Amino acid sequence: MANDAISVLVVDDEKNIRRSLRMVLAAEGYAVEEASNANATRALFASTREPPDAVFLDLKLPDVKDLSLLEWLRATQPGLPVIMISGHGSLHDAVEAVKRGAFDFLEKPLERERILVTLRNALETRRLRRRVAELSGGGAIIGESPQMGDVRDWIARVAPTDGRVLVIGESGTGKELVARAIHEGSPRAGKPFIKANCAAIPKELVESVLFGHVRGAFTGALRDKLGTFKQADGGTLFLDEIADMGLEAQAKVLRVLQEGEFEPVGATKTETVDVRVIAATHRNLEDEIAQGRFREDLYYRLAVLVLELPPLREREGDVRVLARHFLAEFHEHGLPRRTLSEEALRALARHAWPGNVRELCNVIERVAILARDAVVRESDLPAEVRDRSARAPSAADSPVPPVGTSLADVRAEAERRYLEAVLAATGGNVSEAARRIGIERTHLHKKLSALGLK
């Protein structure tokens, strides 16, 4: 279907319908292909190197009487807008088709203006989704290291399924980007991707944020409000920093995962929801379970598919790749064109990057704004990056703890020593320390208290 024009595939067993749609679309400059049944459609996709930009699909075909072809298209062509058409469809058919991922549902006889408006809306929606993906990191997992190749392969295998995913990794490693990539590669790509940061929700509001509330449920509830679970209905809900959720809220999330239902705060009516949940945390949930802070049954509901993201310091060569990528991206958004000198790249590669990719992006943005010349020198980098003492720690830097020391104690001691060093480097400025290591200031305060550093 290679063509400079936007290509549209029309799938209908009625020749007159295909001819009418071809005339309408061709008159507007679209390139049109036709198929009369499901088998012909699958064969067409198998034989073309460039799939169409949109599809008009009849609800009932000679060899398919259900929505299986729609589901096949959604699974094999993520992001492809599919507009259902029917001469004898019911409201139930329309709702079910949209629920399964159709962009819209048109009834025959087809009106020219409705055809064109719906197609333009579908194409614009697809364009905006791609633009959002570009702005959130190129719509791909950037990196050439073997570790990131493994991550991309894992996402490709997992995305088309409906399995729940738990993403584990240090702050700033790209857990949300992974969640978005899984969503965009799934049959749910045409539905909402909703994010809830559990660490940022006040304890007294967590149920309202997740499950919504009805008017009058509490002081200040002036109108009904949909929670994130309902907002994500049919799509994906990303529960970031799930370990920071309280036990009471965990119990209610467990019920939704088990039964697919919940009650908004103050409501008596049960709501049902169809959501794929992707959770993420920088904590070790097994340690949290042992400490009584996380429910073991919820862990096993969430950890169907588990991905542990590598920290940036372990991704050989990716600092250079990402630094150049971010610098080019900032230029595209209006900052001066700059290149990184070899000495600057070596300095970037030496740094430990405790804040991971988020910290690197922050540093490159500052460099893009403040560098004196078009070529970025080592002297243009922030002091903490130029400091050779901020290299990635080696095994020789610290003695091995005695055999028998619990992993929880080893981690706590390592975190305590590292945070002591960060606070010393920032003169005790917690806000600056939080910025350098890529976490929220309030979260750092909690961690300092837990480690006895406050």
Residue for token digits 């749609």? 21
ω before 52 within 30° of 0 (cis)?
Answer: no
Across the range 119-130, mean pLDDT stands at: 79
Residue 145 CA to residue 143 CA, distance in Å, equals: 6
Average pLDDT of span 23-28: 94
CATH of 395-450, one of 3.40.50.1000, 1.10.10.60, 2.160.20.60, 3.30.930.10: 1.10.10.60
Position 129 pLDDT exceeds 70: no
Looking at residue 217, what is its pLDDT?
79
> DSSP assignment, residue 435?
H
Two structure tokens written together for 266: 């103050």
Greater confidence, 433 or 372? Answer: 372
Distances (CA, A) of 222 to 215, 216, 226, 228, 416: 5, 6, 13, 18, 45
Report the distance separating Cα 270 and Cα 211, nearest Å. Answer: 11
Q: Indicate the angle between helix axes 318-332 and 356-370, nearest 10 degrees.
A: 50
pLDDT higher at 407 or 326 = 326
Mean pLDDT of 408-412: 72
Q: What is the DSSP string of 84-117?
A: EEESS--HHHHHHHHHTT-SEEEESSPPHHHHHH
At residue 392 the predicted structure's pLDDT band, cuts being 50, 70 and 90, is very low
pLDDT score, position 347: 94
What is the reported pLDDT for 435?
Answer: 72
The count of C-alpha atoms lying within 13 angstroms of the C-alpha of 201, restricted to the half-sphere facing its C-beta, is: 24
Band of pLDDT at residue 403, cut at 50, 70 and 90: low
Name every residue whose Cβ is closer than 8 Å to that of residue 25 and which is 6 or more positions away in sequence.
8, 10, 32, 115, 119
Bigger pLDDT: 454 or 198?
198
- Predicted pLDDT of residue 368: 92
Residue range(s) of every CATH 1.10.8.60 domain in the chain: 312-390
The predicted pLDDT at position 398 comes to 53
Q: Is the pLDDT of residue 336 over 80?
A: yes
All residues at 6 or more sequence positions from 67 whose CB lies less than 8 Å from its CB, including other chains: 59, 96, 97, 100
Average pLDDT score over the chain: 85
Whether residue 411 is predicted with pLDDT greater than 70 in this model: the reply is yes
* CATH 3.40.50.300-classified regions of the chain: 147-308
| Kind and range of the H or E run holding 135 | helix 112-135
User: Which residue matches tokens 């904590």?
Assistant: 283
Higher pLDDT, 442 or 23: 23
> What pLDDT is stored for residue 74 in this prediction?
79
Strand ranges inside 95-192, DSSP E:
104-107, 165-168
What's the pLDDT score for residue 182? Answer: 93
Identify whether the C-beta of residue 352 lies closer than 8 Å to the C-beta of residue 391. Answer: yes
253: three-class secondary structure by DSSP:
helix
**Residues in Cβ contact with 190 at an 8 Å cutoff, skipping those fewer than 6 apart:** 74, 79, 81, 101, 102, 103
Whether 260 contacts 237, CB under 8 Å: no
Q: What is the pLDDT of residue 50?
A: 80
Q: Lowest-pLDDT range, 31-35, 153-157, 415-419?
A: 415-419
**Interval 250-309: pLDDT, tens:** 999 999 999 999 989 888 889 999 999 999 999 999 999 999 999 999 999 999 999 999
HSE on the CB side for 39, CA within 13 Å? 2
Tell which residue, 160, 150, 208, 206, has the closest CA to residue 181.
Answer: 160
User: Given pLDDT bands bounded at 50, 70 and 90, which one contains residue 57?
Assistant: very high
pLDDT over 60 (residue 131): no
Q: Is the pLDDT of residue 439 over 80?
A: no
Region of residue 172 (phi > 0: left; psi between -120 and 50: alpha; otherwise: beta)? left
| Domain limits, CATH 1.10.10.60, in the chain | 395-450
**Residues 62-85: tens digit of each pLDDT:** 988 788 899 888 777 777 899 999
pLDDT value at position 404?
65
- What's residue 400's pLDDT? 63
Question: What is the reported pLDDT for 334?
Answer: 85
The half-sphere exposure of 165 on its side-chain side, counting CA atoms within 13 A, is 30
- CATH fold label, 312-390: Helicase, Ruva Protein; domain 3 (1.10.8)
Residue 20's nearest CA partner among 44, 52, 56, 66 is: 56
Can you give the pLDDT at residue 371? 92
Once rounded to an integer, what is the mean pLDDT over residues 12-27?
Answer: 94
Question: Residue 330 belongs to what H/E stretch?
Answer: helix 318-332
Q: CATH class for domain 147-308?
A: alpha beta
pTM over 0.85: no
Contacts of 355 by beta carbon, 8 Å cutoff, 6+ apart:
171, 172, 362, 436, 437, 438, 439
Q: Which CATH architecture has domain 7-134?
A: 3-Layer(aba) Sandwich (3.40)
396 pLDDT band, cuts 50/70/90, is very low
Contact call for residues 138 and 322 (beta carbons, < 8 A): no
Of 439 and 276, the structure prediction assigns the larger pLDDT to: 276
**pLDDT class of 136 with cuts at 50, 70, 90:** very low
- Evaluate the CA torsion angle 322, 155, 95, 50 in order and state its sign: positive
Rg (CA), the chain: 26
Q: Which of 18, 23, 47 is closest to 35 using CA atoms?
A: 18
CB 73 within 8 A of CB 82: yes
What pLDDT is attached to residue 388?
59
Calculated CA dihedral for residues 27, 28, 32, 38, nearest 10 degrees: -110
Average pLDDT over residues 347-351: 93
